[in-house]
Every structure is written in structure tokens, then in C-alpha cells.
């Protein structure tokens, strides 16, 4: 209860990473009214990225659970009918997800039955949602699936759409429209007569449904905010047991409210949400530690978006994240799992630690991708000298704290570094020390630290790390090698088409990143910007070989 009071108090200033803005920024997918109408991809992987993986390992990384299942698939299908502005397609491609199968979730999503969601098959995100993307040459060509790179998935828009759909369904009139859509999703249109009977019953006795919703819209009776209802599978059935007779619709509405209550608990949401939140971070970015600080520590932070991190060679690196704040991917992933759908009941996390460990172990063994297209080898040879003179001092050598640079030195946006203080790190360490998770011993995990600096990562696979800088504010490598004042002030994000000359994704997509807004500055990192045009081209060719 204390955590939820903190969240409600903090929402007005910090928000929850996109609550209502997604109505206008949730993507531009093709509407399909809940039916899958997508072109499914066939993965073309670069074999050097996962040399030791089996087919089962690949499948688990792309679609396996990390314990975050929070969205019943039936509700997604129902909302695709009643809220097409939020969910124009059940493939979730409008959020940047990769649809790779007609009978299952997209890349980065798992599907399994969840007890506190009435045993319904439910969707949750995993590592691949943010760390598996596709790239294709501008003008068309074969799409290559990259593992471990910052993917263009818009996590904030996805969760924002889930939250808004839940809020809207609490309205009694919306519930009357939702019930037939739920029935169609549940029955997969096989029982059209039953749905017609339900619609007739709603027309006849809708007042009883309205009264049931108004009586306890947040379903706090029997389970306060932050607690879970016990929901049996039978509570969510359309028919009475062993018959084709409809259940009492007011009772079904009450049980669906209890289901929504449990989803809010799993996402650490208060009952009453504010009408505004922080700005949208867009595809491939979020303010992860700001969100976790809010929902787990009750401590709102200044908005500080960063692009999704790198998963390459994690088993060979001591520190991860853009500020080198943790040597423990497992601790980081536990925080993420709790923040993204694993309920926290007091100090006890409802989390399958075994699947989280497997996701973490697989992610640690991904290698950087080799550049898949032609390279001008003569230019690359010339470019190596420019690399040694302008880049190697910071990005090569042992991955020690010598790779950490003060904001005053590198000159990039300061907010992320400024936010993550040792006090905040200590808060996360205390959370990890006291959280109760079966088969997880926090004392065996090294602590999180606050460096308030930025980490100069190795540049292996740097071609696939666009956009650049910790906050993704620079679209291409060519832009990064331009003086900061001449870099584009805005660009569009979301495309998978790749500009092989400039090293970066095309300037297209539904989201506009404005570098003049807080947390989004594209200033600083002026290394190599004084090189001649031909020298910059040679350096870019060399970087393709890293």
C-alpha cells in the first residue's frame, strides 16, 4: 500500500512512462479488427552472433518467458475490436514488434498461462523485445534479424496502450461494449449465436451490468490496491459449466474487473491515474531507471530517456549500461521483470527465477554482428589511422573505469548521468537485498553503483548501434562526425531501412525525436568532427569492419 501511495503522489510530476499520450503516438499499424493481417518475417540471422546456440536457445530468446506475462491474449483481441486506435493489430507490429508467426506472439513476447490472471494465456515481454531488431538496405532487400542491438520497439507506447485500454474498460458503458468483444475473442467467432444472445441480454438488462461496474469499478473489495484476487479459470468463462447457457453477465463483468485489478497490481499502478505523463521516448528508447525508481523506490526522477542497451559480449564485460552502473545483468533483469509485469506483494515478487536466469544467460553470449554488405576495403584501410587518432583512446583497451568519462569532458546530455546518484543506487541495492524471490540470493550479486559518468563502450558492431549517443539523439554516424551545432535538430524514428553510406536508419517513422527537449540533447562528443570529408568517409568505412 505504501508503494502505491508513493506512486499516486509522484505521478503528477513524473508520470509512468506514457499513460495517455499513446492515443496519438501509439504507432501506425494497419487496422485488422483483431485478426492477424500481417506479412510474417522469416528470420535471416548472422551465424557469428550466436555460435553456440541451439534452435531451442534461439526460440527461447525470441519467444521464451522472463516472468513478465501481464496481458491476457483474449483481452488483446477484444481490445483490438473495441479500441482499434490503441491496438490496430494483434500482431503488435504498430509498436515496432516483429511478427514472425501466424499462430503466436511476435518477437520479444512470450505467451503462457498465468495463475493470477485466471489461468489465461498471457503475453509478456522478454529481452528480445528491446534487443532484437531488423535491418534492410535502403530501397529494399533482404531483412536481417540482429540480436543484441537496440531494437525499434516502442515499449512505452505498448504499455501505455494497455493502461489506457484498462482505464477505458472501467467505464460501465464501455464494459457493455467490451463483453461481446470478449466473447468473440474467447470463442474465436465459433459461437456466433452465443454472442448474439449476449448482445440481446445486454440490450435487455444492461442496467444490471452498469450497476455492477459502478458498485466497485476498481475491484478493491476483497483485494485492496497492490493485492491480488484469486481468479479461477471458471470465473472468466462465457457459459455456465457443462452447458451452452450464458453466465450472468453482471457476474462476468465483476470478474473482468478483478482481472483488470490484478493486471494493475502486476504493473504497480494506482487506481487513479493522472491525465498527463512525461514525454514519449519513442521506438528503441525508454527511461527505464526513472520508471523503476518511481514504482519500486517511490522516488520520482527527472525524465532521462536512453536508447536500449547493448547485449554483445556481456560475458566478457565487467560493467553494463550507459553509465557502467552494474556488473550484474541478473540483478538488472530482476528489476526489469518486477517493473514490467511480475507482481510485488509486499516484499515478495511473484516471479519464476529459472526462466529469468535462462534469458540472462543467453543474452550474455550474443556476439556483435558483422557488417553484412559491401565495404570499400581500401577506404577502410585509410580509415583505420583516423580511428586510432580519434576513437581508440576512449573505446579500445581494458574495460576498466578508465572507460568512464565525466559529462563535462564528453559534453553530451547530462540528465541520465546526473540522475543516477549513489543514493539511487543504494535504494536499488536495498530493494534487491530485501525482495523475496525463490532461489535468488542477492548477497551473491555485486552491488549497483552510481558513477554519474558515461561509459565508452567497445565499438564492435558499431554500425548496428544507430542511433548514436546514450540517448539515441544522433541518427547516423555521419551526423555524429559533424560538429554538434550542425547536427539535425529533429529526426524520425522507427524505420528498419538502413543508410549504408551514413551508417544509420532512415529518417522516417511515426515518432519525431526533438533534440531541443529535456534529456534529448545531441550536443557533445565532437571527436573526429574536424576531419576532412574524405577522411570521415574513410573512417565510416573502417567502422563497418569493427
Please say if the pLDDT value at position 28 is more than 50. Answer: no
Q: Please give the residue that has the higher pLDDT: either 3 or 216.
A: 216
- The whole-number pLDDT of residue 56 equals 96
Q: Please, which pLDDT band fits residue 189 given cuts at 50, 70 and 90? A: low
| 365-402 confidence digits (pLDDT tens) | 999 999 999 999 999 999 999 999 999 999 999 888 99
Written as nine digits, the cell of 148 is 543484441
Long-range contacts of 222-225 (CB under 8 A, 24+ apart): 222/258, 223/258, 223/261, 223/262, 223/265, 224/1, 225/1, 225/4, 225/261, 225/264, 225/265, 225/270, 225/271
- The whole-number pLDDT of residue 138 equals 86
Please say if the pLDDT value at position 37 is more than 70. Answer: no
Please say if the pLDDT value at position 9 is more than 60. Answer: no
Please say if the pLDDT value at position 14 is more than 50. Answer: no
pLDDT > 70 in the chain, percent? 92
The pLDDT of 85-109, averaged and rounded, is 93
Q: Please give the residue that has the higher pLDDT: either 36 or 178.
A: 178
Please say if the pLDDT value at position 23 is more than 60. Answer: no
Burial class from Cβ neighbours inside 10 Å (0-12, 13-18, 19+) for residue 382 reads middle
Phi, psi (deg, nearest 5) at residue 69: -60, 125
Asked if 538 and 379 count as a contact pair (C-beta separation under 8 A), the reply is yes
The pLDDT of 341-349, averaged and rounded, is 94
Asked if 273 and 163 count as a contact pair (C-beta separation under 8 A), the reply is yes
The pLDDT of 59-68, averaged and rounded, is 96
Q: Could you tell me which of 288, 266, 263, 267 has the C-alpha nearest to residue 278?
A: 288
- The whole-number pLDDT of residue 412 equals 98
- The whole-number pLDDT of residue 16 equals 36
Please say if the pLDDT value at position 489 is more than 70. Answer: yes
| 270-288 confidence digits (pLDDT tens) | 887 766 778 899 999 999 9
* Residues listed for the chain: 546
Mean pLDDT of the chain, nearest integer:
89
What is the rounded distance in angstroms from the CA atom of residue 350 to the CA atom of residue 209?
32
Q: Please give the residue that has the higher pLDDT: either 199 or 29.
A: 199
What is the rounded distance in angstroms from the CA atom of residue 252 to the CA atom of residue 259?
10
Q: Is the dihedral of CA 201, 207, 213, 216 positive or negative?
A: negative
What is the rounded distance in angstroms from the CA atom of residue 381 to the CA atom of residue 341?
49
Strand partners, 110: 124
The pLDDT of 160-179, averaged and rounded, is 96
Q: Please, which pLDDT band fits residue 192 given cuts at 50, 70 and 90? A: confident
Query: Which residues have a Cβ under 8 Å from the Cβ of 83 and sit 6 or more positions away?
Result: 161, 164, 165, 168
Strand partners, 173: none
Q: Please, which pLDDT band fits residue 316 given cuts at 50, 70 and 90? A: confident
Distances (CA, A) of 142 to 147, 496, 524: 16, 11, 35
Please say if the pLDDT value at position 183 is more than 60. Answer: yes
Stretch among 39-48, 167-176, 206-215, 276-285 having the lowest mean pLDDT: 39-48
Please say if the pLDDT value at position 250 is more than 90. Answer: yes
Stretch among 16-20, 39-43, 348-352, 408-412 having the lowest mean pLDDT: 16-20
Pairing of strands 306-307, 504-505: unpaired
Phi-psi region of 397 (alpha: psi -120 to 50; beta: other; left: phi over 0): left
- The whole-number pLDDT of residue 10 equals 32
What is the rounded distance in angstroms from the CA atom of residue 131 to the CA atom of residue 147?
6
Distance, CA of 26 to chain centre: 13
- The whole-number pLDDT of residue 317 equals 85
Stretch among 137-141, 401-405, 449-453, 456-460 having the lowest mean pLDDT: 137-141
- The whole-number pLDDT of residue 20 equals 35
- The whole-number pLDDT of residue 30 equals 34
Asked if 310 and 465 count as a contact pair (C-beta separation under 8 A), the reply is yes
**Cα dihedral 116, 119, 123, 127 in deg (nearest 10):** 70
- The whole-number pLDDT of residue 4 equals 37
Q: Please, which pLDDT band fits residue 69 given cuts at 50, 70 and 90? A: very high
Query: Which residues have a Cβ under 8 Å from the Cβ of 198 and sit 6 or more positions away?
Result: 179, 180, 183, 238, 246, 249
Please say if the pLDDT value at position 66 is more than 60. Answer: yes
Please say if the pLDDT value at position 32 is more than 80. Answer: no
What is the rounded distance in angstroms from the CA atom of residue 259 to the CA atom of residue 263?
6
Q: DSSP letter at 461?
A: T
pLDDT > 90 in the chain, percent? 76
The pLDDT of 419-427, averaged and rounded, is 94
Q: Could you tell me which of 529, 515, 524 has the C-alpha nearest to residue 478?
A: 529
Amino acid at each position: 500500500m505504501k508503494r502505491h501511495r508513493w506512486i499516486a503522489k509522484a505521478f503528477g510530476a513524473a508520470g509512468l512512462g506514457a499513460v495517455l499520450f499513446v492515443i496519438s503516438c501509439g504507432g501506425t499499424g494497419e487496422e485488422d479488427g483483431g485478426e492477424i493481417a500481417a506479412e510474417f518475417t522469416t528470420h535471416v540471422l548472422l551465424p557469428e552472433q550466436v555460435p553456440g546456440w541451439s534452435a531451442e536457445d534461439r526460440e527461447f530468446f525470441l519467444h521464451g518467458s522472463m516472468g513478465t506475462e501481464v496481458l491476457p491474449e483474449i483481452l488483446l483481441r477484444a481490445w483490438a475490436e473495441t479500441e482499434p486506435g490503441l491496438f490496430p493489430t494483434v500482431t503488435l507490429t504498430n509498436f515496432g514488434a516483429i511478427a514472425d508467426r501466424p499462430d503466436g506472439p511476435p518477437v520479444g513476447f512470450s505467451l503462457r498461462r498465468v495463475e493470477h490472471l485466471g489461468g489465461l494465456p498471457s503475453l509478456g515481454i522478454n529481452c528480445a523485445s528491446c534487443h532484437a531488431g531488423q535491418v534492410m538496405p535502403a530501397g529494399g532487400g533482404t531483412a536481417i534479424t540482429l540480436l543484441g542491438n537496440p531494437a525499434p520497439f516502442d515499449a512505452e507506447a505498448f504499455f501505455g496502450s494497455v493502461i489506457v485500454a484498462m482505464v477505458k474498460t472501467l467505464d460501465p458503458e464501455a464494459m457493455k461494449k467490451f463483453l461481446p468483444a470478449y466473447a468473440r475473442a474467447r470463442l474465436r467467432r465459433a459461437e456466433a449465436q452465443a454472442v448474439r444472445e449476449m448482445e440481446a441480454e445486454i440490450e435487455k438488462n444492461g442496467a444490471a451490468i452498469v450497476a455492477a461496474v459502478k458498485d466497485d469499478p476498481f475491484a478493491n473489495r476483497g483485494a485492496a490496491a497492490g493485492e491480488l484476487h484469486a481468479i479461477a479459470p471458471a470465473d472468466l468463462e462465457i457459459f455456465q459449466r457443462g452447458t451452452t447457457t450464458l453466465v450472468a453477465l453482471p457476474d462476468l463483468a465483476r470478474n473482468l474487473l478483478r482481472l483488470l485489478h490484478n493486471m494493475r497490481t502486476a504493473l504497480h499502478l494506482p487506481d487513479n491515474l493522472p491525465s498527463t505523463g512525461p514525454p514519449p521516448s519513442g521506438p528503441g528508447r525508454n527511461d527505464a531507471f526513472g520508471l523503476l525508481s518511481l514504482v519500486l523506490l517511490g522516488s520520482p526522477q527527472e525524465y532521462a530517456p536512453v536508447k536500449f542497451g547493448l547485449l554483445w559480449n556481456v560475458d566478457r564485460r565487467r560493467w553494463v549500461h550507459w553509465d557502467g552502473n552494474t556488473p550484474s545483468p541478473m540483478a538488472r533483469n530482476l528489476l526489469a521483470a518486477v517493473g514490467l509485469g511480475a507482481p510485488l506483494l509486499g516484499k515478495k515478487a511473484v516471479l519464476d527465477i529459472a526462466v529469468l536466469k535462462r534469458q540472462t544467460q543467453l543474452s550474455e553470449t550474443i556476439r556483435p554482428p558483422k557488417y553484412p554488405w559491401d565495404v570499400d576495403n581500401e577506404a577502410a584501410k585509410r580509415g583505420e589511422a583516423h580511428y586510432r587518432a580519434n576513437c581508440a583512446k576512449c573505446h579500445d583497451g581494458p574495460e576498466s573505469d578508465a572507460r568512464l568519462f565525466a559529462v563535462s569532458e564528453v559534453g553530451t546530455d547530462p540528465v541520465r548521468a546526473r540522475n543516477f546518484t549513489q543514493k539511487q543506487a543504494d535504494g536499488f541495492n536495498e530493494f534487491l537485498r530485501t525482495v523475496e524471490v525463490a532461489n535468488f540470493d542477492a548477497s551473491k550479486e555485486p552491488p549497483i553503483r552510481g558513477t554519474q559518468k558515461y561509459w565508452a563502450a567497445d565499438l564492435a558492431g558499431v554500425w548496428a548501434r544507430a542511433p548514436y549517443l546514450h540517448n539515441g539523439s544522433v541518427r547516423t554516424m555521419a551526423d555524429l562526425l559533424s560538429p554538434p551545432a550542425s547536427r539535425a535538430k529533429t529526426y524520425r524514428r522507427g524505420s528498419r531501412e538502413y543508410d549504408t553510406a551514413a551508417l544509420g536508419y532512415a529518417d522516417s517513422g511515426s515518432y519525431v525525436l526533438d533534440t531541443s527537449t529535456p534529456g534529448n540533447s545531441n550536443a557533445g562528443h565532437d571527436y573526429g568532427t574536424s576531419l576532412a570529408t574524405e577522411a570521415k568517409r574513410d573512417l565510416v568505412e573502417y567502422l563497418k569492419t569493427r
